[in-house]
Amino acid sequence: MKLKNRNMLVIAALAIMTNGLSLLGLDYGSAGALARTIECKSNIARNIEVADRLKKLLGQPPCRPETEFAPRFSLV
């Protein structure tokens, strides 16, 4: 029983440490706010990349992939 209480206290302490700033009213410092910020930035970057690709495709036929020939062999 004592071990279960200790585990619960450790989990509660970790929860307070990670979300302590949001519990104090400083929302921008919490772990959840940090995760939302990272997710938002990645979504914005993905949307910008998709918009650039679509902008390049508008009014142009698809490009053929360039095939490069192997360079000539040089005998030493």
Q: For the chain, what's the residue count?
A: 76
C-beta separation of 31 from 19 below 8 A = yes
pLDDT over 80 at 38, yes or no: yes
In this predicted model, what pLDDT tens digit does every residue of 13-28 receive, in sequence order? 888 777 776 677 665 5
Span 45-72, average pLDDT: 78
**Which pLDDT belongs to residue 43?**
92
3-state secondary structure string, 43-58? Answer: HHHHHHHHHHHHHHHC
